[in-house]
Structure 1
Amino acid sequence: MSSSLLAVKVPLLFTAAVANHVTFTSPNPPPDPKEKERFGETGKVLSTIRPPWIRRMHRDLTWGIILCEMLVVLATIYPSIVSKQILVFLSPGRSATGVQVRITPTFLIGWILLVAGGYIRYSCYRTLGRHFTFELALRDSHRLITYGPYSVVRHPSYTASMMAGVGLLLCVTGRGSWLAESGLMNSLAGRLCVLTWAAEKIFVPIVMLLRVEKEDGALRKEFGDQWEEWAKKTPYKLIPAVF
């Protein structure tokens, strides 16, 4: 791959990191415990099953992985003594000239999913305003929002989060990525670290599927006929015309 084409990967990686950061950073402080109690004990479990410190750790780790790949790309494009040292340090399983970081179809598909997911998630933040919390809660003076992305599916922020999660995995673990090409995953410790990080990412959709049913039930109880009317107009939970 030519240096000019490879250089395009740097801004793509940066926007991917920003999209992931937006997706997994709450736009509001945690709700009051009384507001979370309206979802009952099950709601408490689903709210705490992925506590904030895990989200922060995962987000910061993702920044680290993507910044390392950006360094490898720049070191490949601009060879020097320093660049060679960077490549040797960040790619212990490869020679300084054998790191084949590149743009692949897998990366591009992942990037599109991640950036689109981040954009939809941000749109949900703006649409819900103070009502958007990462924990299950019904805020004081809560309103049922049925416009914007919430007129397409009832839980667009969950859809966006799943898109971003899948996209991130494709971006940073697929062929041509730093993790795949550096040799770091050749060791048992490296494979375990990456698998643990990926498993946590895959775990998120499972929690969200459980939350969908709980959230629908609480909103139906809280808003009654208004929710029923919205559900008729917006029958799909996550994917238009599918589910």
Structure 2
Amino acid sequence: MSPTIRIALVIAQALLNGLACTPPNPTPQNRRYHTEEMYILQIAPLIFKCHQILVYLTAFLETLHYTLPLLPSLPFLPSSPSFLPTLALCPSPSPLPLTPSFALGFLAVALGTYIRLDCFATLGPLFTFDLSTHPHHKLVTNRFYSYVRHPAYTGSLLLVFGLAFSHLTRGAFWVECGLGISGSGASGLGGGGFEGGSGLLGGARAIAMWGVWWAWTLCVGVSRADAEDRQMRTMFKEEWEAYARAVPWWFFPGVI
């Protein structure tokens, strides 16, 4: 399959992630709540910004990886390609395939982005990345909120799942390349997976990073979902109780 398809999907995935991780509204600092939670969970908006930068960086490096063989032939570039940044990361570049793992990851990111953007639109000015109330707050129970009480966190979990399966499995840039480690063997990977890989985040390193990343995201979601439920119960009383009985799940119907 043409590498241009993977390049297009990597760039599209980075743009989708950027949309999902950009706050739709500023946080009114004087109306924040749940500010007593652990600091590592409270800095979720900052982590989202770092997360965006890393995803854009990955898209840039993968794109450069594919175009690298073409660049030295351009007349305005030095004859030696040693100045190119991806050579230091992947001295023997080989085509990175479009694996089933990458395709699954792309679909998860696309779905997660759709859910989060729909939540942004459904809540309108009520949606802020830091937990806060609005002068005209109301209990929203339609769209995805009719299936789970906190669908935006569902979207976040899908983003982390999707990015991990796209960029921490065989065939991904950081798994096949990294810090001068050769990326040989990337073209015969079959379905991909977390095993193997000679790059910076190959094998056990990929599993460890994904585990910590996903666990942190889940902890943020659980902490905030519980705080939001308590706040909504205080504000809307019987209306919230009826909603909680009708929609008992936080993130995934029948699971949690």
Identify the TM-score tier after normalising by the shorter chain. 0.7 to 0.9
Given that residues 105 and 165 in structure 2 are in contact (C-alpha distance below 8 angstroms), is that contact kept between their aligned partners in structure 1?
Answer: yes
Match of 1:118 in 2: 113
Higher RCO structure (Cα 8 Å, ≥6 apart)? 1
Distance 1:74 1:86, change over 3 A: farther
Equivalent residue in structure 2 for 1:32, among 24, 29, 37: 29
Match of 1:15 in 2: 12
Which amino acid in the other structure matches residue 90 of structure 1?
T
Which amino acid in the other structure matches residue 255 of structure 2?
V
CA deviations over 1:29-78 (Å, ceiling 9, x no partner): 01232x114x4634xx57972154443222112211111112212335x5
Equivalent residue in structure 2 for 1:89, among 85, 88, 91: 85
Gaps in structure 1 of 5+ consecutive residues: none
Equivalent residue in structure 2 for 1:105, among 67, 81, 100: 100
Match of 2:189 in 1: none
Gaps in structure 2 of 5+ consecutive residues: 183-199
Residue 175 (structure 2) pairs with residue 180 (structure 1): yes
How many Å separate the matches in 1 of 2:156 and 2:131? Answer: 15
Distance 1:23 1:93, change over 3 A: closer
Residue 42 (structure 2) pairs with residue 49 (structure 1): yes
Given that residues 36 and 135 in structure 1 are in contact (C-alpha distance below 8 angstroms), is that contact kept between their aligned partners in structure 2?
Answer: yes
Which 10-residue stretch deviates more, 219-228 or 67-76? Answer: 67-76
Given that residues 23 and 129 in structure 2 are in contact (C-alpha distance below 8 angstroms), is that contact kept between their aligned partners in structure 1?
Answer: yes
Q: How does 1:184-223 map to 2 (within 5 A)?
A: 184=179, 186=181, 190=200, 199-200=212-213, 202-223=215-236
- Aligned sequence identity (%): 27
SS in 2 for 1:61: helix
How many Å separate the matches in 1 of 2:124 and 2:141? Answer: 13
SS in 1 for 2:36: helix
SS in 2 for 1:159: helix
How many Å separate the matches in 2 of 1:213 and 1:86? Answer: 53
Match of 1:148 in 2: 143
CA deviations over 1:104-142 (Å, ceiling 9, x no partner): 111111111111101110000000000001111121120
Distance 1:151 1:51, change over 3 A: closer
SS in 2 for 1:167: helix
How many Å separate the matches in 2 of 1:183 and 1:40? Answer: 38
How many Å separate the matches in 2 of 1:140 and 1:46? Answer: 27
Cα shift at 1:87? 10
The structure whose residues are more often helix, as a share, is 1
SS in 2 for 1:8: helix
How many Å separate the matches in 1 of 2:51 and 2:43? Answer: 11
